[in-house]
Amino acid sequence: MTAIQDHYPDDVAHCYGCGRLNADGLQLKTRWDGEETVAHVTPRPYHTAMPGFVYGGLIASLVDCHAMGTAAAAAERAAGRDIGDGPAPRFVTAQLNVTYLKPTPLGPPLEVRGRVRLATERKATIDVTVAADGVITARGEVVAVRIPETMVKKD
Amino acid sequence: MTAIQDHYPDDVAHCYGCGRLNADGLQLKTRWDGEETVAHVTPRPYHTAMPGFVYGGLIASLVDCHAMGTAAAAAERAAGRDIGDGPAPRFVTAQLNVTYLKPTPLGPPLEVRGRVRLATERKATIDVTVAADGVITARGEVVAVRIPETMVKKD
């Protein structure tokens, strides 16, 4: 199934966390899984907090990008469209809250899940979990807003 | 003036955001500036949200690491020690909240400032700002806790 990030317009597809046009980035991909969204990312060996554990800033990044993707996918669904039916709307982060429940082991792929708590056309609140080996290690709550026109630089 | 991260013990100095032993990392450095702490980081060209603006996950990472450094520096100060008087205590993130006030321009060095709101020997709450060209673009509130023994892998 196609990911929402594959349908961001080219001029807003350079995000370090999830932009398909950012060759140096993490390229997170958000897809529907029933009423939830899911993404899988394997941290790089240097994404360490302490040796053996994933860097908290990376976890915050995954929460952030997956929430933006979920907000975009939800806006499409609310409009009666599936991912890929057209260019995806682009959201940016207004508020990012992450609670670290326990250390996240470095090595296994991480499963990032999103659920829409509230959504309008212009704003959404998304709940996110991050899990390793089936154990949730962090929870996020993210407020997403539609991208302001001033953030889009046309060529 | 020496930075707190230069005095983390070797076995907990590999953080992607601020570890001096992580050659691939951001190597953020937290120093006292009166009652506040300060760090300066210039994002890399690929740390983009949209072209021209800094990735929010990077901002969250800087807030996170600077808050941990501030918590460690504050614990040292509370014990009557300056940075570098001995090995620095190591804190990890329990809660990370970031509010994005406006887009952060990509290019200029970012100034990250920390202030201790509450601190005990084992826990601290740190307020952080991120500014570009003198304008605050993000605010963070971070809860730091002393690192659990289980996160330190001795060689």
Say which amino acid occupies A151: M
Q: What is the pLDDT of residues A23-36, one digit of tens each?
A: 999 999 999 999 99
Interface touch A50/B12, C-beta < 8 Å: yes
- B155 confidence band (pLDDT: 50, 70, 90): low
Q: Measure A107 CA to nearest chain B CA, in Å.
A: 15
- Residue B12 tokens read as 């907990």
Q: What is the pLDDT of residues A35-64, one digit of tens each?
A: 999 999 999 999 999 999 999 999 999 999
Interface touch A96/B96, C-beta < 8 Å: yes
| A34/A39 Cα distance (integer angstroms) | 13
**Residue A101 confidence (pLDDT):** 98
- B31 confidence band (pLDDT: 50, 70, 90): very high
Q: Which DSSP string do the residues of B24-91 spell out, in sequence order?
A: TS-----EEETTEEEEEE---TT-BSSTTBB-HHHHHHHHHHHHHHHHHHHHHHHTT--TTSSPPP-E
Residue B53 pLDDT more than 60?
A: yes
Nearest residue on chain B to A53, alpha-carbon basis: B151
User: Per-residue pLDDT averaged across B100-126, rounded?
Assistant: 96
Q: Which residues pair with A125 in a beta bridge?
A: A118, A143
With a pLDDT cut of 70, the percent of chain B lying above it is: 99
Q: Among partner residues B58, B64, B152, which is closest to A56 by beta-carbon distance?
A: B64
Interface touch A55/B16, C-beta < 8 Å: yes
User: Per-residue pLDDT averaged across B30-56, rounded?
Assistant: 97
Contact A80, A30 (CB under 8 A): no
- B84 confidence band (pLDDT: 50, 70, 90): very high
Residue B123 pLDDT more than 60?
A: yes
Please give the angle made by the CA atoms of A92, A98 and A101, to the nearest 5 degrees: 155
Averaged confidence pLDDT in chain A = 95
State pTM to two decimals.
Answer: 0.96
| DSSP class of B88 | P
**Residue B152 confidence (pLDDT):** 82
- A121 confidence band (pLDDT: 50, 70, 90): confident
- Chain B residues contacting A, CB < 8 Å? 11-12, 14-17, 19, 22-25, 44, 46-53, 55-58, 60-62, 64-65, 92-100, 103, 147-148, 150-153
ipTM of the complex: 0.95
Interface touch B64/A57, C-beta < 8 Å: yes
- Residue A33 tokens read as 């899984």
- What is the length of chain B? 155
Q: Measure A73 CA to nearest chain B CA, in Å.
A: 18
With a pLDDT cut of 90, the percent of chain B lying above it is: 92
Tokens 């499409």 locate to A76
**Residue B108 confidence (pLDDT):** 98
